[in-house]
Structure formats: C-alpha cells, structure tokens
Structure 1
Amino acid sequence: MASITNKFKVSNGKSFSLKDHDPDYADGFRKGDSKRILENLIAETFDLQTELYAANKYSLLIIFQAMDAAGKDSAIAHTMSGLNPQGCQVYSFKQPSAEDYAHDFLWRHHRALPERGRIGIHNRSHYENVLITKVHPDLLLKENLPDVSSVKDVTGKFWDKRYESIRSFENHITENGTVIIKFFLNVSKHEQKDRFLKRIDDAKKNWKFSAADIEERKKWDDYMLAYEKAITETATKDSPWYVIPADKKWFTRIAISTIILETLRGLNLKYPVLPKEEKDRLDESKKELELEKE
C-alpha cells in the first residue's frame, strides 16, 4: 500500500509534468476486490482518527482539487463514510461572497481550518485562486487589489507572489500542527466527456450540469497548464501534492484512502498517558463502582 503513496506523491515540483501521470492507471488492483480493500482501509483509519482526536496535537487538512466530473464528491463520500462525523468537517467552496472579497484571498480558507484533533476536508480550496483565476484573470478585478486595476496588471510577478503566499500559508499552518494532504484527481478529457454525457441522461444527476461546464471544457489545456504550474510551485516536503488517477473511480478511492491512512500512521499517534494522580483517582473510582450494590 505504501507504494501507492510514494508513486503519486509530488513533494518537489521542479521536474513535475502532468504528462508523466496516467489518469487510467490502477496499479494492478482489480475492481472486484476494491470494496473489501476500501472497507479495510477505512476501518483502520477510523481507529487512527480516534487517536488523532484523543492526542489533540495535530489536525489533518485534506484538499480536493479537480476538473468537473473528476469524482471529488463521490471520493469524499466513499473514503470518509466509515469515519466518526463528530471528528470531521467538510467545506465545499463556491464562488466568493461579498464578504470574502472584502478580505484577502486566503481569509475564508483560514477560517475553515480544522481544529486540533479533527479532520477537515476542503472540496476545492485556496488553490482556486491560482486555477480558475489563472484561466479567467478578469475575476481578479473583483478582489479590488491595490495594484490590479485591469487584467494587464496581472503579470508573471503577480502570480509568483500569489504562489509565495500559498507556500507561506501552508508552511505556517504546518508548523502549528496542521498536516496537509493535497489531492489532484487527474481525470482524462475523454473520461470527462463520458461522465458529462451520463450525467445529462441521469435525472438524479443532470441538475449538476450546466452549459457553463461545456465552456470551461473548451479551456481544458489552459486548466491543465494552470494545475501543472500550481503543483510545480507549491509541492513541498511538508505540504505535498498527490496526483491521483481518476478515470477509474474505484481505484481513486483506494488510492486516497491509502494515502490518508499512511499519513496518519506516520504521525505515530498515541493516546494520552494520564498523570499518576489522575490514574490513582481512576483506580479509586473503579473500586467504588465495584463495591456498589446492584
């Protein structure tokens, strides 16, 4: 299982290229075994989630980024299905509100960080500010930034500063106990087309589709360049990206669950050890309970 973690992990973006990552890869796994494997992974993750909460030392931030129809929602639903909901919080970031635009681009994401002991899942994230805004720089005008009065002001230097802000933000929260896992669900353009067509024909899902999805699809190459650049600029040892094959949803879920489990294992979590005085009080309480008459 650890080989999955190592294979998809990008901790240094200097030589990163999306062309090196096959969206249809399945690492020799078989679909027929996927349900059993996923159940086992989730069961062990549940135990470690309890230790994470009890230790109250770290929090875990899991970021999901992807093109439309890559399977973010279903991946979150399946990989988190067996965890304790009291220890999880999911935020799905939509278009910024007027209040969001009145602050810096990281503000709403900082507010949504998980507390110590908890797991936070961000469906889309602060990376939208170097993805959709990279493809549609006119959106930056809504931020009313001091040095951006027109799209012409959005230069390479602007993006360098924005990547730097993201690296600094992630470094800061990492140093303060937030462990970050960043997933890019790497779906192929062909698979996205198939899923769009199925979504349109499915009455339970066609409400999720809009004509705007087709317009965004026409900018596929621009988005791939934006993702590649974002990963290149922000993949670090302490805040790595994981480029997950997303053409086979069943394998996507195995890969995500494996990486979450391996990350939690790596924290060497332990239940708190009670001080001697507390332990003595517990022993006294036990004796009292045992002496009680039914």
Structure 2
Amino acid sequence: MARKEIVDAVKKYTDPFRVTNGKDFRLRDFDPGDTLGLKMGKQEAAQLLDRGSEWLAMEQDILYAQDSWSLLLVFQAMDAAGKDGTIKHVMSRVNPQGCDVISFKQPSDKEISHDFLWRHAKAVPERGRIGIFNRSYYEEVLVVRVHQELLEAQKIPPNLVGKNLWEERLADIARFEDYLTRQGVVILKFYLNVSYEEQKKRFMRRLDKPEKHWKFSASDVRERRYWDDYMQAYDDAIRATASEGAPWFVVPADTKWFTRLVVAAAIVEAVEKLDLEYPKVTSKQMKDLAAARQELEAEGSTGAKKHREEQK
C-alpha cells in the first residue's frame, strides 16, 4: 500500500484523539470507553494490530538505515491503564536493536541533584532509533504536583519555588519539546485515558489472580484518593504542551484492543509522513560492491575448499 493510502487509512483512528492546540482542551470531553463505534472480536483486532506492527517494523528498518530522524514515544497514564501491554503489543515486530524502552522510576540521588529534565534529556533517542518513555518528565508536573512534599528532596532554592512553579515547568517542557523537534526528533505523546471504574475492575482482577499479585501495590489504591487532583494536573499539562510538533493523543483505555489500535495507528501515521527512503548508494560504493562480487565469484569452490583445509 502506498504511503498516502496508509496515512489516509489510519487517520480515522487518530484524528478524534489528537490534541495539537490545548487552548480549549478539557479531559472530560474524551470518553475512556470510546471505540468509535467499532465492534470486533479479539482475533480480528489482533490481526489489524499485527498489520500495523508489520508496517512499523518495515519503516523502522529504513529509519535506522537513514540515520537522520529519531522517534520519541511518551506514555503517561494512571495505574492499570495498560501502558506496558500497549508498548509490548504495538512494538512486537520492531527490531530491538533500534529501539529503547526507558521506565523512569523514582530519581536517584545523583539525578535529583540535577534539573528535572536532566535524566530525560540524556535518554532522548539518537538518530535512526526509536525511544519509548514509560512515564517521563511529565511526572514532574503530575505526581510531584499532587504530592508537593516531593519538591523538598529536589533541593531547589526556596526563592525559586513560587506560586507559578507548575506553569514555569510546563513552559520549560514545551520549549524542550520544541527544541527536540527542530533537531529531527519526532515526538508523540500518549495519555492512556482509563476511567475510575475500569481502574478498580483491573485492580480487583489483579487481586483475584495470584500470578498478577506482583503487579499490585497498596500505593496504587492510595493514589486513587487523589484521582481528581491527577485529572486536573493532566488537564493543565496537556493544555500547556500540546502542539503540532509534539501532539498529545488522549487514547481511550477502557477497551485494550482499541487502545493498542489507536497507538499503533498514530505511530504508523507519523513515520509514514516522514517519507523515509533507504540511503542512496554512491557511484564509488557501487564500484566497491561490484569488486566484492567479482572477488567472491572468482574464488569459486576451489577457494572455499582451500580455506577449509587451512582451518584443519
């Protein structure tokens, strides 16, 4: 399928959830259970996702060979929204040699002694590669905003911690992303929009299945007490940082197959728009290739036999 056809085909899955201008953005305008009216079984959904993953794998090979653009995928969500599963399924066909997944946990002493973007800037993917941030610098305007006692550990001079701190950090993030896009980093940001009710159901399933207990933490339930605070923080973050160059996708997350379909479509669409091509071979390289072929052909079976005898 031609690139334009692919882009046109996936737009119906991406346009309803893309946010490029946060001026009038409101998270409550997006339904976590939306599937655009699509009804399909797990097998049909898996086949469609597999097709998208196959496209992405082919384009990733060219991205790596071209060594010019890079792709940064940022995933944010409340607990149990399905970030890990989405990343696993959507990126299933991608060559791991050209892709890095970074899960940002609580910062170390060294990391916390730097500015809040430092450890993330170091992890931005190099040219030709895909980088996936499983949580990101946005935690600094989400969890740290909800639990402001965490600011004390960051050792910021007190006179710099003012009432406009969160607006300032959001402005810094927007400028950081603008800078990256002008260096050839394609940024896609995904907020997996799970509902309060669906999160509870998934927590209960984890509690009911012993093999899922490792994924559960009592702190997950405690964080539910701050749900409204988090929703306000996400509202402000998306409103302040959505742009054409670094769009947000507010992806419905109550139906897992649809979540994965939308994420895959957004990535395929962005990569296809780059109109990637394998590097052109120079005339000198063509001569070198011809010489290599001639040498191998001249070697014949006699040369291979002689090599085996020398190895004995």
TM over 0.5: yes
Are residues 1:293 and 2:300 paired? yes
Are residues 1:257 and 2:264 paired? yes
Are residues 1:111 and 2:125 paired? no
Read off the aligned partner of 2:27 and give its amino acid letter: L
Query: Which whole-Å CA distance do the structure 1 matches of 2:154 and 2:45 have between them?
Result: 44
Tell me the CA shift for residue 3 of structure 1: 1.6
Are residues 1:58 and 2:69 paired? yes
Aligned to 2:28: 19
What TM-score does the superposition give when structure 1 sets the normalisation length? 0.96
RMSD, aligned CA:
1.3
Contact 1:54–1:117, Cα closer than 8 Å, also in 2: yes
Deviations 1:72-115 (A, max 9, x none): 01111111111101011111111111111110000110111111
Of the two, which has the highest radius of gyration? 2
Aligned to 1:137: 148
* Alignment equivalent of 1:247, drawn from 251, 254, 259: 254
Query: Which whole-Å CA distance do the structure 2 matches of 1:176 and 1:136 have between them?
Result: 34
Aligned to 2:110: 99
Query: Which whole-Å CA distance do the structure 2 matches of 1:290 and 1:207 have between them?
Result: 58
Query: Which whole-Å CA distance do the structure 2 matches of 1:11 and 1:279 have between them?
Result: 44
Q: Point out where structure 1 has 5 or more consecutive residues left out of the alignment.
A: none
Aligned to 2:12: 3
Aligned to 1:229: 236
Deviations 1:11-30 (A, max 9, x none): 10001111111111112333
Tell me the CA shift for residue 146 of structure 1: 1.2
* Alignment equivalent of 2:48, drawn from 37, 49, 66: 37
Tell me the CA shift for residue 154 of structure 1: 4.3
Are residues 1:279 and 2:293 paired? no
**Superposition misfits of 4+ residues, deviation over 4 angstroms:** none
1:202-217 correspondence runs (5 A): 202-217=209-224
Deviations 1:238-271 (A, max 9, x none): 0110000000001111111111111110111110
What TM-score does the superposition give when structure 2 sets the normalisation length? 0.90
1:121-136 correspondence runs (5 A): 121-136=132-147
Contact 1:12–1:232, Cα closer than 8 Å, also in 2: yes
Q: Point out where structure 2 has 5 or more consecutive residues left out of the alignment.
A: 1-9, 302-312
Read off the aligned partner of 1:265 and give its amino acid letter: E
1:112-191 correspondence runs (5 A): 112-147=123-158, 153-155=161-163, 157-191=164-198
Query: Which whole-Å CA distance do the structure 1 matches of 2:288 and 2:217 have between them?
Result: 62
Tell me the CA shift for residue 291 of structure 1: 3.5
Query: Which whole-Å CA distance do the structure 1 matches of 2:113 and 2:159 have between them?
Result: 15
Read off the aligned partner of 1:30 and give its amino acid letter: K
Deviations 1:6-47 (A, max 9, x none): 111101000111111111111233332101101111111100
